[in-house]
């Protein structure tokens, strides 16, 4: 097995100690402290994750991490190793869901910086990812939340509505759970590009809202902060993507639990419960009486809204 820490010591030319960081559910993360006081982050990429469809190929993740750093949002890549990265250590505060709910403006600003940066080396679609997960579940006879199949026709309806007037694809993180935001002074930085790819910016915002449990009013504030306009068509686009985030990522946890049992056990995390919780939130929003209006808003039915402006 490769010895990333040994390679780091050779690169650094001095003793280096490793302190594991808990939080990631897929890869090994550690803080590195060098004898001369320098501090870095080690990210060791587990190839089983991308092989199981739970992340993009490792070479693409590494390339996108470099591009995100060039955009001034991701940590700088200091050294590349086979299957691992030595990254700038962001000396800040890792956000939680409550804090993400208090910072729609800085969160939107961080997304705009990322989205305005160099394009990523791959594209991403939450709908194609849903198709991939369903295929994996069928192939490996993995359990899905009860009633999941009954919601697939509505997911297809959402895809058609969003495709009627698409936004330009931009480099997106696509997995912005609160722990992937680091507050460094007045700025918010973004880490962990495991599922990154060029995508609809409204999915980025909807995913943030899903992961941090935004209510509709706060989701509207996030959309307004990002797009710079109070346009119900754009807000409804974000809210439909919030639903797709919960619906699709519920299967991420089901696949992870089913295909990476050893890794899942080591993480001390209830993947099945998380899958059920995300699906229940998707069902809540799909069954809401206002769901049909969201679809109509995005299609522009009876609204007279102009086409949405591209993100700034």
Answer yes or no: is pLDDT of 310 > 60.
Answer: no
pLDDT tens-digit readout, 92-147: 999 999 999 999 999 999 999 999 999 999 999 999 999 999 999 999 999 999 99
Are 241 and 279 within 8 A, CB to CB?
no
The β-bridge relationship of strands 39-44 and 84-88 is antiparallel
Distance, in Å, from the CA atom of 226 to the CA atom of 195, rounded to the nearest integer, reads 21
Q: Percentage of the chain with pLDDT > 70?
A: 91
Average pLDDT over residues 137-163: 96
pLDDT on residue 305 = 36
User: What are residue 32's DSSP bridge partners?
Assistant: 18, 40
In the chain, the DSSP E strands lie at: 16-20, 28-34, 39-44, 77-81, 84-88, 93-94, 170-172, 181-184, 187-190, 197-199
- What is the pTM (predicted TM-score) of this model? 0.90
| Residue found by looking up tokens 């993100």 in the block | 311
Distance, in Å, from the CA atom of 263 to the CA atom of 116, rounded to the nearest integer, reads 35
Q: What is the DSSP letter of 92?
A: S
pLDDT tens-digit readout, 46-91: 888 888 888 899 899 999 999 999 999 999 999 998 888 999 999 9
| CA 199 to each of CA 179, 241, 297: distance values in angstroms, whole numbers, following the listed order | 21, 12, 21
């Amino acid at each position: 097995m490769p010895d990333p820490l040994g390679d780091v010591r050779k690169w650094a030319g001095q003793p280096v100690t490793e302190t594991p960081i808990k939080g990631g559910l897929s890869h090994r993360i550690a803080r590195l402290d060098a004898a001369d006081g320098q501090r870095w982050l080690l990210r060791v990429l587990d190839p089983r994750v991308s092989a199981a469809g739970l992340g993009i190929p490792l070479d693409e993740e590494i390339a996108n991490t470099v591009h995100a750093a060039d955009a001034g949002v991701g940590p700088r890549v200091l050294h590349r190793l086979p299957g691992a990265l030595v990254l700038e250590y962001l000396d800040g505060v890792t956000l939680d869901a409550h804090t993400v709910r208090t910072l729609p403006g800085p969160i939107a600003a961080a997304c705009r910086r990322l989205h305005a940066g160099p394009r990523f080396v791959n594209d991403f679609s939450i709908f194609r990812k849903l198709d991939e997960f369903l295929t994996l579940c069928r192939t490996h006879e993995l359990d899905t939340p009860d009633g999941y199949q009954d919601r697939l026709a509505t997911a297809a309806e959402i895809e058609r509505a969003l495709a009627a007037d698409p936004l330009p694809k931009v480099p997106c993180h696509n997995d912005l759970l609160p722990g992937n935001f680091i507050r460094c002074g007045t700025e918010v930085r973004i880490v962990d590009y495991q599922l990154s790819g060029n995508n609809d910016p409204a999915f980025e915002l909807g995913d943030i809202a899903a992961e941090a449990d935004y209510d509709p009013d706060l989701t509207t504030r996030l959309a307004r902060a990002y797009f710079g306009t109070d346009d119900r068509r754009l807000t409804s686009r974000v809210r439909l993507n919030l639903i797709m985030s919960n619906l699709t990522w519920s299967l991420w946890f089901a696949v992870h639990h089913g295909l990476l049992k050893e890794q899942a056990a080591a993480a001390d995390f209830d993947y099945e419960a998380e899958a059920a919780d995300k699906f229940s939130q998707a069902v809540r929003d799909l069954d809401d009486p206002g769901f049909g209006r969201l679809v109509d808003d995005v299609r522009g039915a009876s609204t007279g809204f102009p086409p949405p402006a591209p993100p700034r």
